[in-house]
Amino acid sequence: MALYTIGDLHLSLGSDKTMEVFGEAWRDYVERIRDAFSKLNDDDVTVLCGDLSWGMSLEESLEDLRFIDALPGRKILMKGNHDYWWNTAAKMKRFFAENGLDTLDILHNNCQWYGDVALCGTRGWFYELEGQTDHDEKVLAREVGRLETSLKAAGTAEKICFLHYPPLYQGYRCPELLRLLREYGVRQCYYGHLHGVTQRRAIEGEQYGTAFSLVAADYLRFVPKKICD
């Protein structure tokens, strides 16, 4: 059994919004995802760090969710800024059950487990950037609360954190999220969201006692990043 992560699959199997319009980096990305996951085992666990489907509802995302469900192993889903299909935990779990999506679970206002290791996280948010509003401040406060709820649910266990938005990159820091990572002793944090030229601004490696890694699918060339066995 091994633990993996990857974000930003941007699937559109039930609609016509392929990412291939963004150039060579996204060529044949669906088949590349399928091929990369074929190397995983059925007892492996993969955390998917948001932006999974372009569907506007659970029903519109069904083909994408079926694709994810058919990949080997257990998949833990997180919300990204483009996951408009995301709904309440109860509705999503019921939808998964009704459609036989047996390998899917969610990381949202909770923590999941990989053996004795707690998998914690939330979407995150950008703030203190040009053009931000009071609404953005409220959204960030909600995301900070969700991350703390997730970290508290883990108790004293070792914690790995997953976010969609990066909590830091060149020219930007989110002190509220970074404070929680430090206070709860999180040693590893994985995030997505950054694409194309913005990936040059990604910060990886240890900062403030936490090792950060960008796991957007195009950055990883659509191969899930192995965290541990």
Domain ranges of the chain: 3-228
pLDDT given at position 134: 74
3-228 to CATH, choices 3.90.79.10, 3.40.190.10, 3.40.50.300, 3.60.21.10: 3.60.21.10
* Adjacency order of strands within the sheet including 205-207: 112-114, 117-122, 159-163, 188-191, 210-214, 205-207
CA–CA distance, 111 with 109 (Å, rounded to integer): 7
Quote the pLDDT of residue 127.
60
β-pairing verdict for 210-214 and 188-191: parallel
Run means of pLDDT, 10 residues per run, the chain, 229 residues: 97 85 87 98 98 96 98 98 96 98 97 98 78 79 97 98 96 94 98 95 95 98 97
Residue type for 213, please? S
Q: Which of 51, 56, 48, 108 is nearest to 77 (CA)?
A: 48
